[in-house]
Structure 1
Amino acid sequence: MNLLLINPNTSQSVSDLIAAEARRAAAGDTRIEVLTAPFGVAYIETRFESLIGAYAAATLVAEHHARHDAIVVAAFGDPGIDGLREALDIPVVGLTEAALMSACLLGKRFSIIAISRRITAWYRECVQANGLLERLASIRSLEGPLKDIGSVQDDHGERLEALCMSAVEDDGADVIIIAGAPLAGLARSIKDRIPVPVVDGVSSAVCHAQTLASLAPAPARRGSFAPPPVKPNQGLPDALSRLLARDAGRA
């Protein structure tokens, strides 16, 4: 099985964290490829930055999807995921949806641990969009600017662990979701010190992507995830134009 993980951020250090956790979580015969956005922002923190990340992800997917069995959008918030599902015949999985689904299988109420306060409103909207707002116990976050997005775990490890404990003790969380690609692998390293299950978005997404690819579902031909309709376009990268033309033939 071949999985393509797209980092919609431009930080190679974050892609390295994604790749390491993805390979730890993947089955022995699963091949992992991780690509980093060629343009955009160092890390997505706002709705507008998510729009940029979604377009960056779409360009990479259009160029590289053909040789893979499933795609993972490796940013919490799942930028562009629904559009990519319209365009592709293979499963597309995001960190948010995957982590939420894993958490719901492990407990009733979950808390999300985030890297910044600014990001929390958007994360709450993502939970609501997935129909799970009533199961959200809390979103707790780091405060203040980040020195280096690739070293968040090293710089703030103790504080992140304390936020997890507060979510359990003060907010009644049954499960903790460690949010965001910069925190990939943290759940694995602290899970024995947290008294409830701790879920990682990257490992959840890889495992769910493997499952969906193994199930080999038929792609949508009707409904809201049918391929985009035929229409004129201009100014798009060649790979995106080819993908749209291919989609027109699938409809």
Structure 2
Amino acid sequence: MKLLIVNPNISHSVTDLIEAEARRAASPGTELTMRTAPFGVAYIETRAEAAVGAFATLNELAEHHEGHDAAIVAAFGDPGLAAAREMLPIPVVGLTEAALMSAAMLGGRFSIVAISRRIRAWYQETVEMHGLAGRLASIRCLEESLRDIGTVQTDKGEQLQALCEAAVNEDGADVIIIAGAPLAGLARSIADRIPVPVVDGVSSAVRHAESLAALAPRGALAGSYAPPPVKEWSGLSPALGALIGRKS
């Protein structure tokens, strides 16, 4: 099995974190192709940045999806996920959706622990989009500015663990979701210190992607995820343009 994993941020240090956790989670024999957005921002916090990340992600998926069994949008908030599902002939999984589905099967109410306060609105909207707002106990975030997005786990490890504990003790969370690609692998390292299940988006996405690929679902020919209608296009990469109105 071959999985294509795209980091919608431009931070190669974050791609390294994603890859490390993805390899820990992947089944024996699963091959990973890692890609980093060639343009955009170091890490996505806002709707505008998410829109840029979505475009970068769609370009990477279009260029590199051939020969893969499934793809992963490796940023919390899943920029470009729905569009990718319309265009690609393989299953596409996002970190947020995968983490939410895992959390929903592990407990009743979940809390999200994130890296910045500005990111809260976008995460809230993503949870609402998936119809799980009623099961969201809280979103807790770091308050301090980040020195380096690639070292946030080591720089803010104690604060992040404290946020997880507060979500359980004060907000009533049954499950904790560690949000965002820069925190990939943190759930694994602190799981034995938190009294409820701790979910990582990267490992969840890898496992869900493997499951969907193994199920070998047919691509949509009708409904809202049918391929886009054929039309003229301009200014897109040839690979992305070819997916606009691809023949089913």
TM-score w.r.t. the length of structure 1 is: 0.98
- Structure 1 SS opposite 2:145: coil
Q: Structure 1 stretches of 5 or more lacking a match?
A: none
Deviations 1:185-207 (A, max 9, x none): 00000000000000000000000
Q: Distance in 2 between matches of 1:141 and 1:241?
A: 38
| 2:244 alignment partner in structure 1 | 244
| 1:190 alignment partner in structure 2 | 190
Q: Residue 2 of structure 2 contacts residue 70 of structure 2 at CA under 8 Å; is this kept in 1? A: yes
| 2:89 alignment partner in structure 1 | 89
Q: What letter corresponds to residue 150 of structure 2 in structure 1?
A: G
| 1:220 alignment partner in structure 2 | 220
| 1:42 alignment partner in structure 2 | 42
Report how far residue 215 of structure 1 moved: 0.2
Alignment of 1:159-238 (within 5 A): 159-238=159-238
| 1:111 alignment partner in structure 2 | 111
Q: What letter corresponds to residue 216 of structure 1 in structure 2?
A: A
Deviations 1:40-97 (A, max 9, x none): 0000000000000000000001100001000000000000100000001110000000
Report how far residue 24 of structure 1 moved: 0.1
| 2:140 alignment partner in structure 1 | 140
Q: Distance in 2 between matches of 1:74 and 1:235?
A: 25
- Structure 1 SS opposite 2:41: coil
Report how far residue 244 of structure 1 moved: 2.1
Q: Which has the higher helix share?
A: 1
Q: Distance in 1 between matches of 2:82 and 2:51?
A: 13
TM-score w.r.t. the length of structure 2 is: 0.99
Paired positions, count: 248
| 2:63 alignment partner in structure 1 | 63
Q: Distance in 1 between matches of 2:225 and 2:67?
A: 22
Q: What letter corresponds to residue 118 of structure 2 in structure 1?
A: R
Q: Distance in 1 between matches of 2:235 and 2:190?
A: 47
- Structure 1 SS opposite 2:35: strand
Q: Distance in 1 between matches of 2:33 and 2:179?
A: 21
Q: Distance in 1 between matches of 2:176 and 2:84?
A: 28
Q: Structure 2 stretches of 5 or more lacking a match?
A: none
Q: Residue 231 of structure 2 contacts residue 244 of structure 2 at CA under 8 Å; is this kept in 1? A: no
Identity over aligned residues, as a percent?
A: 67
| 2:122 alignment partner in structure 1 | 122
Q: Distance in 2 between matches of 1:195 and 1:239?
A: 47
Q: Distance in 1 between matches of 2:94 and 2:241?
A: 24
Q: What letter corresponds to residue 239 of structure 2 in structure 1?
A: A
Report how far residue 101 of structure 1 moved: 0.2
